[in-house]
Amino acid sequence: MSGWTRIVEWIQWINRGICSAGMFLLIPMMLITSADVVGRVLWSRPIPGSVELSSYMLAVFILFGVAYTYQVKGHVVVSVLTSRLPGRVRSALEVATILLSILVIGILAWQGWVVGIEERTVSDMLRVPQRPFRLLVSVAAFLLCLELLIDLVRALRSLVRG
């Protein structure tokens, strides 16, 4: 097994684990939301802060799943034009697209870190600090950049091979 293969497996294992951790947040989010609705309807007493908690859990769930979604190619791909192109042209376009994606997501990771470090606010009701959630944007973007780099290497190999 080559060193590159080990690195790819390690990155993909991390992204699967992080996505799995994010999925476990759906259970408490569902329970809190259900309890809030039942309390609101039956006793006119909603759970204070349940909307805030659900929002934070949903943000973590989404951010933890971004890199994994890209890893399994679960994103939307429109290939009406590119499917009709020759292999080398298609590979060249793929390399260009991945490079542009790395640039944009890299800026998102960088600015997510800058904004997250400077963040000092807390939520309105529960006084939950915003910093960890802002920094999570940077972490999710970095993990997505790693997945993009894996695809870039694959696309470059495909372009060189023809």
Mind spelling out the 3-state secondary structure of 8-70? HHHHHHHHHHHHHHHHCCHHHHHHHHHHHHHHHHHHCCCCCCHHHHHHHHHHHHHHHHHHHHH
Q: d(Cα 60, Cα 23) in Å, to the nearest integer?
A: 9
Q: What's the structural domain count of the chain?
A: 1
Look up tokens 């870190």; give the residue.
Answer: 113
Domain containing 67 equals 3-161
Residue type at position 73: K
Q: d(Cα 14, Cα 22) in Å, to the nearest integer?
A: 12
Confidence of residue 2 (pLDDT cuts 50, 70, 90): confident
Confidence of residue 29 (pLDDT cuts 50, 70, 90): very high
Instruction: Output the pLDDT for position 85.
Output: 85
How confident is the model over 70-79, as pLDDT tens digits? 999 988 887 8
Confidence of residue 14 (pLDDT cuts 50, 70, 90): very high
Three-state DSSP class for residue 127: coil
Q: Does residue 60 have a pLDDT over 80? A: yes
pTM of model > 0.75: yes
Instruction: Output the pLDDT for position 98.
Output: 96
Q: How many Cβ atoms from other residues are within 10 Å of residue 26's Cβ? A: 12
How confident is the model over 85-115, as pLDDT tens digits? 888 889 999 999 999 999 999 999 999 999 9
The predicted model gives 108-127 an average pLDDT of 93
Instruction: Output the pLDDT for position 1.
Output: 63
